[in-house]
Structures are given as C-alpha cells and as structure tokens.
Chain A
Amino acid sequence: MNPTPNLFVGIAQVVANLVLFLALAPLFDGIVRRVMARVQSRKGPPLAQSFYDVLKLLGKENIDSTGILPFRLAPLVAFASMLCVIAILPVAGHATALTPYADTISLVYLLTLGGVAVLLGAFASKNIYALIGASREMTTMIMVEPILFMILLLGVLKTGSLDLTAVIYGTPSAEFGWPGIVMIVVSLFALQAFVARQPFDMAEAEQELLGGPFIEYSGPNYALFKYYMMLKQMFYAYLPIAMFVPLLKSGYFVLDLLLQVVLTALVFLLIGLLSATHPRYRIDQAIRYFATLFVIALAAIGAAVIF
C-alpha cells in the first residue's frame, strides 16, 4: 500500500491511535468485569473501575524489592513496546505516519518484546512464585505467539506483502476462503490465551501463585503492567475484527472506526462470558490445547499456500 502522503495527518493519526487505545482499554476491561459479575449474580464495579485502579496505583509508592535495574525497567519496556504496536497499527485501514516504517514482522517482534519484558521483571524479582509464573508465561508464549503469527501470515500469503495495512485490511473476506474461516475459529479459541484470562490465566493464578510474575510489583510500576495487560488485551480482541470483518468502505472513516469499536466491545463480552464459565486449566492441560490449535492453524496455512 502507499505510504501516507500527508505527514501531519499521519502524526495526528498516531496520537489518535494512542488516545483511542489508552481510553478504551480500561473501559473494555470494565465490560469484562461487569459481564463476569452479572453471570455471578453480582452487580459488578462501575465500567471505569479499571481506570480508578490504575489511577490509585499511580499514586502509591513504588517498592523496589530487588534494587536491580531490569526490575525497574521491565514495566517501562512492556508498556512502551505496546504503545509502539499501537502507534504502527493502521486502525480501521488508515496507516499512521509510522506504519510505513514497520511491517508484520516488527509487529510480532514488538508484541513479543512486551512479553519478554514481563518475564524479565519476573526473573529479576527473584521470587519463587514469580519464577513459577514466569515459566508458565514463557511456555504459553512459545505456544501461542506462533498462532498469532500464523493468523497474520494468512494475510501475508493472500496479499504477497508484509506491509501492515495490506496484511490486516488488504484481503476482502471472501478471498480468505475456508482457511480464513478456520483461522477465525482458531483466533476465537486462542482468544482467552492471548488475553491471559480463564481458563488460561495460569501464569497469574491468584489462588496458587498470588499474581505470579507481578507479585513483587507495586504502585506505578504495577500500574504500568496493568495498563500494558489491558492494552494487549484490546489489541488481541481487535485483531480478529480488523482481519476478518470487512471495512464498510462508505468513505467515512469514523463510521468504519465506530463499527470496529462496537465489534471489539462484543469480543470483550465474549471474553467475559468465557472467563466466567471456566475454571483455570493446569499448564500441562493448556499445552495440549494450544498444540491442537497450533496444528489446526498450521493446516490452514498449508491449505492457503497450496490452494
């Protein structure tokens, strides 16, 4: 696709992307909490509760339990890498000023960097619970990141380009064919793993690991991690919508955006329902589940190459 002609619009787009994600991610998290509460016959917190949580944490003291640099840097790296992902993301088909400088590979890199930062912080905190949590997180990443990559790879194969706008929005849904349908199913089944919620929240597993990788974090550092998790969650909820739901092409950008946001909200409704109706799996059970998804995704890619 063509790089954005107007630099000024492009930069405005970067800022708009960031504002959109930073503003909506906690609200979407609020939707999950409300849905879960309703399934559990509770009233649930206000929609903006996750905002309040982050704000409260920002006002608290940072306890640096280890005194080493990686421990302090990890939340910053995780948060920054997620912001970069959002900055290069062509939301609703409109490339930002930064999109031309990135491609699908760098998107996957940046997402992985966020995950690695979480691991780094966990290992640096030298807590046995964090270590167990980190090892679970690592296993999950190794199994789940390839599935993400294969979802994007389908777009790459169809358009023959690594450019983000092309990969995510370039293919009309009909042209995906049945491998596309298989991939939609895979991305829905992997959704809970992508957003680290029940049944795949074993890395944090409150009842066993008391928050796992984040156990030693507090105050603003923990707020950054929380925000990072919410942004990541929104990205993963948005991705299948962006990939597989065609744009309206009505000429009005806002209309496209609105539709996609509403659909993303629906994905969060689904996340909430799934979280509320599942216990947490053990890591060995999760691995078996991911392996099945991995094979199915691989088969879909194979089919897309052959046919």
Chain B
Amino acid sequence: MRKELEAKLIARLRDDVVCVEKTDARTIFVDVKRAGIREAAKIIHGAGARYLCSVGYDNIARDGTLGMIHTFALDDCNQFVCCRTTAPVGDPVIESITPDLPSAGWSEREVTDLLGLRFAGHPKPKKLVLADDWPDGIYPLRKDVPHDLVPKGAEDVAYELDEAPPGTKIVPVGPFHPSLHEPEHFAVYVDGETIKGCDYRGFMTHRGIEKLCQTQVSYNEVPFIAERICGICGSVHATAFSQAVESAAGLVIPRRAEFIRTLMLEIERIHSNLLWLGVAGHLIGFDTVFMQAWRVREQIMWLCERLTGNRKTYGMILVGGVRRDITPEIAEDIRNVVNKIEEELMVIHRAIEKDTSIHKRTKGVGTITREQALDWSLVGPVARARGIDIDARRDHPYAAYDEVKFEVPVLDSCDVWATLVIRVIETFEAIKIIRQCLDKMPGGEIFVEMKDKIPALRHAITVVEAPRGESVHYVITGEENRPERWRVRAPTFPNLQAVPLMLLDEQFADFPIVMGSIDPCFSCTDRVAVVDLQTGKSSSISKAELDAMSRKQQQRA
C-alpha cells in the first residue's frame, strides 16, 4: 500500500512530496510541503482511505513552524495514513481540505482556535472550541501559553448564529434542555413544525485536558485523566491512550492484560448501550423503556463496583497493562450477571421489536443516505445503520479482539430505528465476547513495567471502538516523560457534524430522538468530565459516612 500511495502522490505532486515512510506494520506517514496538502489529502482519500481527524501541533521552539496532520484509515487492510505538513509561524496559513472532506471542518476550526493556524478556503471559519469572550491572539495549545492562564475576557462579544432561512422561526435548544444531558446550544430553524436548518454552538465546557496532560502530568497518570474525558466510555479513552503510548514506545503488554482490557471494554459497551436504550425511550416519551432498560443496567454497575471498586470510571487501564486481575470468583460473577442481563434484555428486545408505536416514531426518521454518511465520515452504530460496514474492533484489531469471534451488524434502512436495532444486537454480541474472553483468557502477568525512556517525537495513532463509534487518539511523544501532543477525537465529533443534515426537513418533535440517535457524548467532544450524580451527592456527607454507606451497599449487592 505504501508503494502504491507513494507512486500516486509523486505522480501528481512531484516535488511537494517530502517523504512517504512506514514506521510500523500499520502506519504510513506522508510528509508534504504545504502547497500540496489539499491535493495530497484528495489523493489519499481517493485511494479508498476514510478520513479520521486532523491534529495540529506546535513546533515553534524547534523550527519555527506549526504542524498539521490529517489522518486517514484504510479499513480493508488495517492501515493508517497520516499526512503531515508544516507552516511557518509567521505565515500560518495552509489550504483547507474541508471543501473536499466536510467532516474535517471542525478539526480545522479547532486547530485555528487552539494553535492559530488558519485554513484558506474554509467554508465556515467561525470559532468552535474557545469561549466567545476569549481574547484574540492567545492560542492555548501553543507551548508558550501556560496551562493555567486566565486572560481577561473580551467585552461585548457574542456568538453570531448562522442566518436563518427566510420564513423560519428560531427555537433555541439548550444550553439547558431536557433532551440534551449536557450544556450545548442548538439554534433550530423551524417553519411551523418542520426543521429547515440548525446551527450548533457547543464546547461550552471545554476543560483543556489535552493541555493539562501535555504540561503537568506524566505518561502513567494520563490514562486516569483520559478516563475522565467521558463518564460513559472512560475505559475506551484510557485504552486508546495507553495503546498509543505503548505503540510509540514499542512496548508489548502481556496477553492476559489484553484480554482484561477487552473484557472491560465490552462491559462498558453493555452499560453504554443499555443507558442509550433507556434515554432513547425517554426521548420519544416512552418512560417505561427508560425505567426498564436502566433497571437492567443497574446490575452491571453493581458488578463493576465489585470488580473495580467503582460503578463507573473503572480505573483499570494502565500504560503497560491493567490494574486488577480477574480471579476465578469474579469471572463466575461476571458470567452470572451477563447471563441475567442477556435474559432480561431479550424480554425488552422482544417487546420493542414488535411495538408499532415505537416503529412510528423511529422508522424513516433521521434518514441520511449512505453516500452522505460516507462524506461526513460517520462512525459507529450511526454509520452501520447507513450500510457502512466499519468496526475498529474487526478492521483494526487491538487488545484481544483478534482472538474473539463476533458479528458486526450492518443495516441499510438509514434511520433511527436501525441505530436502535444495531445497538441492541451489539449488546448481545458484547455478551458473547465477554464469555469468550473468560474462556480463552491465558494466565500470566497483567502488567509490564516500562523500563526504557520513551524516545521523544515519535508519532503514534490508535483507534478504539467505543459504544458510540471509534475513538481516535494521536500521540506525539515528548521529552519530559509526558506527551508533547495528545489529540483525542471522540466518536461524537464526526457524528455531531452530520446531525443538521439528519434533522433537515424532519419534524421538530423528532429533534430529541434524532439527536439522541447518535448517542451524543458532548463531554467527550468537549473533553470534559461528566459528574456522576451518584458520587456528586457525596459532597454533603462526611467521608466516614460515605465509607459506611459504601460498605453497606457492597454487602447488599
């Protein structure tokens, strides 16, 4: 693949190609001069690669440039293509690839906000990540900006919404609205009840996790912070980061640890999909589905508490392995719980499957075509519901996924109903994977220490299939035992960009469920933590009381 790609690139770009190299079995790095970046992205995309995300980085101290990397995945041959270019900091402009690849729009806007690299020809060069009153000229991800800088806010600034189509009214959804579970703002343009467009202003809770991990902590602490990116798919982020660092350091972790990671990821998937099913029921006004799905979900949280000491945010993943072993007793416990969940979910599944009123609210709703879904690089169940057969667990196997057998459900009805069915099937598949993991898990160590210093400025990319789609982590190793640059692309990042398209010409009443169908995780996208209501409560009671309560709950469970 590398040779073909190199030939194609050189044929078209000639001198603009600096080098094409393959650093490990699955990563190809293409370095081009900045004049050729758009063409290079086009060629790579044309060669069948799927756009993932773009990463910007500060290299000013070394050679006075800002770097930009567009990453792609070749799903049928398990390879990644990273197309790198640089621009001098005095003239930080490169050509935008958004006109060719619409889902690059947010990545580029993010880089503009955080690093001050501008993109010529970007169709919507508005602020994305930074607050509206963030002063001009301060780019938080640049190395010379301290992590705790609190600049004086600019005055009299407000986000300007896109112009509403004529004859429409604006319905503000958010920052606080029952169908959004985190603060985000949608301006929905409606004509009567029909949605004619919408503008999104999110990133209201951007917390600067990437900056924090690039400046304050060491490799070993990042997985725990990564886990707090999201309250639902925490292990996904911790695993993805750890894998990126292990890949950069050339560290091979014990097989048993890989199986335990797989196990945790699938437990997390069951939890997440049940949570989603409940929320979806709630969003179409069907609270019985909500209550029943969450009743079933509760058992997995109790299980995780016995397993890891925590209902969620397990803290199991370390760079180099996992934190706790799975004893035979715990394995038996897991088996029992997943059996029970399988049984109870089957009951819910049968009830939903034939419920014509649920069909009414979900079939033919939120439709976009397969081509549109490809254009917007959708991922996860949202893509699989549009007939796109991708799943990082199968296409880019990591942890122990190469040794377990599972189906990847793909449907082509392109609507909300298909995403629902896919998530339910995937929950059953997750149960299958858990059983296989428990059966096949080899003995041995669960952790291997990193002995050598990780060499600086190595680039590594990994993907991990979260319940809501694939998460991409890109790490550039640094000199001070911490990443020089760490970029997280959560699955909601591409999926959310396509929501306006899904909403177009739908009824306003369908807004919550269409929005919900991507299983939006705004916190992942913003990179902030969700406060778990269960633990949030503890602030008003003393630690001793909390301990006593926890112990009591342990006994009950």
Contact = CB atoms under 8 A, between A and B. Distances in A.
A282 interface: yes
Chain B CB within 10 A, most for which of A205, A278, A281: A278
B284 interface: yes
A282 B509 contact: yes
A41 B170 CA distance: 39
Given A279-B285, A283-B193, A285-B360, A40 B292 contact: yes
Contact of B507 (A39, A135, A282): A282
Contact of A128 (B171, B285, B291): B171
A207 B179 CA distance: 5
B186 to A, nearest CB: 12
Given A41-B291, A281-B361, A282-B361, A132 B508 contact: yes
Interface in A251-292: 276-285
Contacts of B510: 282
Given A201-B285, A207-B282, A282-B507, A129 B171 contact: yes
B509 A283 contact: yes
Contacts of A276: 287-288
A18 interface: no
A41 B292 contact: yes
Nearest to A284: B507
A132 B171 contact: yes
Interface in A183-212: 198-199, 201-202, 205-208, 210
Interface string A135-148: 10000000000000
Main secondary structure of the interface of B (DSSP, over half): helix
Contact of B512 (A129, A198, A208): A208
Interface string A63-80: 000000000000000000
A36 B295 CA distance: 15
B281 interface: yes
A39 B192 CA distance: 35
A289 B52 CA distance: 45
Chain B CB within 10 A, most for which of A198, A206, A207: A207
Given A129-B171, A279-B284, A280-B285, A210 B357 contact: no
Contacts of A36: 287-288
Nearest to A276: B288
Contacts of A210: 177-178
Contacts, number: 80
B286 A280 contact: yes
B481 to A, nearest CB: 47
A42 interface: yes
A279 B509 contact: no
Interface residues of A, number: 28
Interface in A19-42: 36, 39-42
A279 B361 contact: yes
A40 B291 contact: yes
A110 B287 CA distance: 33
Contacts of B285: 198-199, 201, 205-207, 279-280
A277 B284 CA distance: 12
B169 interface: yes
Contacts of A41: 291-292, 295
B358 A279 contact: yes
A280 B507 CA distance: 13
Interface string B505-535: 0011111100000000000000000000000
Given A36-B287, A41-B291, A207-B178, A279 B511 contact: no
Interface string B354-368: 000110110000000
A276 B291 CA distance: 11
B509 A205 contact: yes
B288 to A, nearest CB: 5
B455 interface: no
* Residues of B in contact with A, size category: 20 to 34
A40 B288 contact: yes
B72 to A, nearest CB: 38
B64 interface: no
A132 B357 CA distance: 23
Interface in A207-259: 207-208, 210
B373 interface: no
B421 to A, nearest CB: 16
B178 A206 contact: yes
Contacts of A40: 287-288, 290-292
A73 to B, nearest CB: 26
B512 A207 contact: yes
B172 interface: yes
B104 interface: no
Interface string A103-128: 00000000000000000000000001
B229 interface: no
A208 B283 CA distance: 8
Interface string B142-171: 000000000000000000000000000111
A42 B295 CA distance: 9
A132 B191 CA distance: 11
A206 B177 CA distance: 9
Chain A CB within 10 A, most for which of B281, B285, B289: B285
A198 B282 CA distance: 12
Contacts of A132: 171, 190, 193, 508
Given A205-B285, A207-B512, A210-B178, A279 B507 contact: no
Nearest to B194: A284
Contacts of B286: 198, 278-280
Contacts of B172: 128
A281 B360 contact: yes
A61 to B, nearest CB: 21
Contacts of A284: 193, 507
Contacts of B282: 207
A208 B508 contact: yes
Contacts of A279: 281, 284-286, 289, 357-358, 360-361
Interface in B281-319: 281-292, 295
A132 B507 CA distance: 12
A223 to B, nearest CB: 22
Nearest to A201: B285
A40 B193 CA distance: 31
Contacts of B511: 208
Contacts of B289: 279
Interface string A39-60: 1111000000000000000000
Nearest to A289: B360
Interface in B357-384: 357-358, 360-361
Contacts of A206: 178, 285
Contacts of B281: 279
A3 to B, nearest CB: 46
Chain A to chain B: the 8 pairs with minimum beta-carbon distance, closest first: A280-B285, A40-B291, A279-B286, A279-B284, A282-B509, A207-B512, A207-B179, A276-B288
Given A128-B171, A206-B285, A210-B178, 11 more contacts: A39-B288, A41-B291, A42-B291, A128-B169, A129-B171, A199-B357, A276-B288, A278-B286, A280-B509, A282-B507, A285-B360
26 contacts: A36-B287, A40-B290, A41-B291, A41-B295, A42-B291, A128-B170, A128-B172, A132-B190, A132-B508, A199-B357, A205-B285, A206-B178, A206-B285, A208-B179, A210-B177, A277-B288, A278-B286, A279-B281, A279-B286, A279-B358, A281-B360, A281-B361, A283-B193, A283-B507, A283-B509, A284-B193
